[in-house]
Amino acid sequence: MVSNTRYGTAHNGLSDWYLQRVSAVALAVLMPLPVLLLLGVYTNQLNQLDLLNLLDQFASRLLHTILILALLAHAYTGLKVIFEDYVHPIGLRVPLVGAMLVTMIGIGVWWLAIIWAWGA
């Protein structure tokens, strides 16, 4: 007899897996750019004024926005899955995931406020 027991009752494993992979690809493409900027500053190929002029362009702000959104989506999805898998009491898991979500939203808003206020 085949059991009707369904494993993975949250039913969001595929969407979590997909979001994790898409955000990982975005991070793999975008993370070398800040590293190259830091190397340029460290090797004195970019001075502070050149760096600020480069970061003040719309394309740079857009890439930073995509980077922070991908980073936060990747981190949130990974930590949420860890909490769902290893924190069994629902009374502890829900506040942990909620606090993590509020913290990440706060970090994202703070970062985006800095990025988009550069030219103001």
Kindly state whether residue 105 falls inside one of the protein's structural domains.
yes
Kindly state whether residue 1 falls inside one of the protein's structural domains.
no
Q: What is the pLDDT of residues 90-112, one digit of tens each?
A: 999 999 999 999 999 999 999 99
Q: Sorting pLDDT into bands at 50, 70 and 90, what band is 5? A: low
Kindly state whether residue 94 falls inside one of the protein's structural domains.
yes
Q: Sorting pLDDT into bands at 50, 70 and 90, what band is 31? A: very high
Q: What is the pLDDT of residues 37-90, one digit of tens each?
A: 999 999 999 988 888 888 889 999 999 999 999 999 999 999 998 998 898 999
Q: Which two tokens stand for residue 80?
A: 């949420």
Instruction: Enumerate residues 6+ apart whose C-beta is below 8 A from 84.
Output: 10, 93, 97
Q: At what angle do helices 13-30 and 32-42 cross, to 10 degrees?
A: 30
Domain harbouring 40, CATH code: 1.20.1300.10
Instruction: Enumerate residues 6+ apart whose C-beta is below 8 A from 115.
Output: 61, 64, 65, 68
The answer to whether the pTM exceeds 0.75 is yes
pLDDT at 39: 94
Q: Which two tokens stand for residue 11?
A: 């039913």
Kindly state whether residue 3 falls inside one of the protein's structural domains.
no
Q: What is the mean pLDDT of residues 24-30?
A: 96
Containing structural domain, residue 20? 13-116
Q: Name the residue with higher pLDDT: 70 or 2.
A: 70
CA 5 vs. chain centroid, Å, equals 34
Say yes or no to pLDDT of 119 above 90. Answer: no
Kindly state whether residue 6 falls inside one of the protein's structural domains.
no
- Report angle CA 76, 81, 83 to the nearest 5 degrees: 95
Domain count, the chain: 1
Kindly state whether residue 112 falls inside one of the protein's structural domains.
yes
pLDDT at 6: 53
